[in-house]
Amino acid sequence: MALILLKLVARLPLSLSRALGRGIGRAIYRFERRPCSVARINLALCYPSMALEQREQLCRQRMLHMGQTVCETPRLWRQPSAWLDRHVTAIEGIEHFESTLSSDDGTVFLVPHQGNWELVGLWLAARTAMTSLYEPPKLAALEGWIKGSRERSGATLVPTNSRGVAALLKALKSGQAIGVLPDQQPPESGGAYARLFGVSALTMTLVHKLLQRCNANVVFCAALRDRGGWRLHFLPADSKIYSDCEDAAVGALNRGVEQIANLQLSQYQWEYKRFRSQADGGITIYDR
């Protein structure tokens, strides 16, 4: 049934899928569902000096964008590259994209959960050899459809294990590109604590470890929802992301995530329990 629903939503025009998404977002906000409560907690943590009314308005706007992301993504997965190109309304920082591809070194594209990150992956894979980590959905029936949709643009998807990491390193050493979502919470063994929006967050060390083993460039990117499509943004990484020092590197990674989120706060994934892991191993902020 879930697969049938995805396929039906994929047939909707973009304007209708976004309208449906806004309706879902309004319902989530009105009935105080979990994404709404988590977003409130995260916004209070990250922006304690922001007026309560402003944070609440931001929370409401975020629910609308969250719903739109959910409903527009199935359509993205089933469209050809030409359709995506027509719906990219502007590209900011295209020079950072072009310069890194003109290099013989590999490129790490860091794509935080901002706007519609699926569009970024599809757009990039249509323009360069791209390898990305892939974690199958919880519903096994959806895996073939989702994985096949993502690979249609030419992306190579690899598992989130040691074999997948080896494939990422091989791609970089071959001068190709990889895509990484840098703001997911990693397992304790694959992370280090660093400040994110002023809050301690368990942060992936994968990018740091890859950069220590190859000469690669790092570019942050995002696709922000715009009228009739999306605006692509490319930003250079803080130079400390290339540091031999792990603490300096993961700190620079989080500053890049902050830059991307601050492009438009309402489109960032505040409903994710980003700070659930605590260095002292105590009760998380989401359980209080």
Mean pLDDT of 103-124: 96
Q: How large is the average pLDDT for residues 168-184?
A: 97
pTM above 0.85, yes or no: yes
Residue 274 has pLDDT above 70, yes or no: yes
CA-to-CA separations, 247 to 26, 100, 169, 201, in angstroms, rounded: 40, 25, 21, 12
- What is the Cα–Cα distance from 191 to 132, expressed in whole angstroms? 19
> What's the number of CA atoms in the CB half-sphere (13 Å) around residue 104?
0
70-100 residue pLDDT tens: 999 999 998 999 999 999 999 999 999 999 9
Q: What are phi and psi of 53, to 5 degrees?
A: -65, -35
CA-to-CA distance for 205 and 246, rounded, in angstroms?
A: 7
Asked if residue 146 has pLDDT above 90, the reply is no
Annotate 228-241 with b (16+ C-beta within 10 A) or e (fewer).
ebbbbbbbbbbeeb
Spatial contact of 204 and 186, defined as CB atoms under 8 Å apart: yes
| Cβ atoms of residues 17 and 8 within 8 Å | no
pLDDT value of residue 282:
63
What local confidence, expressed as pLDDT, does residue 140 receive?
A: 76
Q: What is the pLDDT of residues 232-252, one digit of tens each?
A: 999 999 999 999 999 999 999
- Asked whether the predicted pLDDT for residue 63 surpasses 80, the reply is yes
